[in-house]
Amino acid sequence: MSSTAKTLSATPADLDFALELATIANKISLPRFKAADLKVTTKPDRTYVTDADKAVEAAIRAHIEKHRPADVFFGEETGGDAAATTAGVRRWILDPIDGTANFLRGVPNWATLIALEIDGEAQLGVCAMPALDTTWWALAGHGAYKQVGITQPQRIHVSAVSELADASLSFQSIQQWEEAGKLDSLLSLRRQVWRDRAYGDAWSYMALAEGLLDLVGEFDIKSYDVAAIIPIVNEAGGKFSDLDGNPSAWSGSSMASNGLLHEQFLAAVRGVA
């Protein structure tokens, strides 16, 4: 990789564009939330998809292709360029509705996740949760922020908890950990921490970035599930990695912490076969 390619980075203009994309998404998804005529189908992997998922992705993809024609796109519903790290490539990664099962059941814990990855590094992330009237975002080197409604954005930071015994843990589901062969690890970890709850989906990571939680772990995740989350967690002072400690959105596991607990967290999850 050349030194020139290595210096490429996301800009405040990219963040403005990403927030514009989130506004487009919110205008489509929120009116379909709890809609009586919501159309729901099942994908080949047995996960749900709604007409809102498809409409959001189509609108976002079209906007990117029109206004950022040199960039590439990868989305949950329509795919796109999923090539591994390539020097100089700017890739927008989208989950149009993260938490579709919540969305179709009327649970407000769902989000549109928008990331910009450059040279394989997620440098910008936006998490928009319109049912909660809240948006979180981060740009590498510029901090992480939360905005509720039209109030002024507030900078957010992870907690200062440094002992597992004082930590609050969130996970996606018991089933997910069991299918990953890590249920025993989860139960062991539960005995070591102060509190455990399965808040699930993107909100767990946003709560981590705000200092409300200290540890979040998931398995069987896709790049579009976490690419936008990585810069938000990191810029809030936390740490994100896969179970092997790699800072990748493409590895299938997701371990996020306040940073101080990260090695203890990974060791605890790895520690039980």
Cα angle: 262, vertex 157, 194; to 5 degrees: 50
Residue 190: closest CA among 212, 211, 207, 215 = 215
State how far the Cα of 232 lies from the Cα of 161, in Å rounded to an integer. Answer: 19
Report helix, strand and coil shares of the chain as percent, to nearest 5.
Answer: 35, 25, 40
Cα angle: 249, vertex 250, 251; to 5 degrees: 105
Residue 200: closest CA among 103, 78, 76, 55 = 103
Annotated binding-site members for Mg(2+): 76, 95, 97-98, 225
CA 54 to chain CA centroid, Å, is 19
State how far the Cα of 239 lies from the Cα of 186, in Å rounded to an integer. Answer: 19
- In this structure, how many other beta carbons lie within 10 angstroms of the beta carbon of residue 177? 23
CB burial of residue 124 (10 Å; 0-12, 13-18, 19+)? buried
Annotated binding-site members: 76, 95, 97-98, 225
Q: What is the DSSP string of 213-258?
A: -SEEEEES--HHHHTTHHHHHHHTT-EEE-TTS---SSSSEEEEE-
121-129/134-139 β-pairing: antiparallel
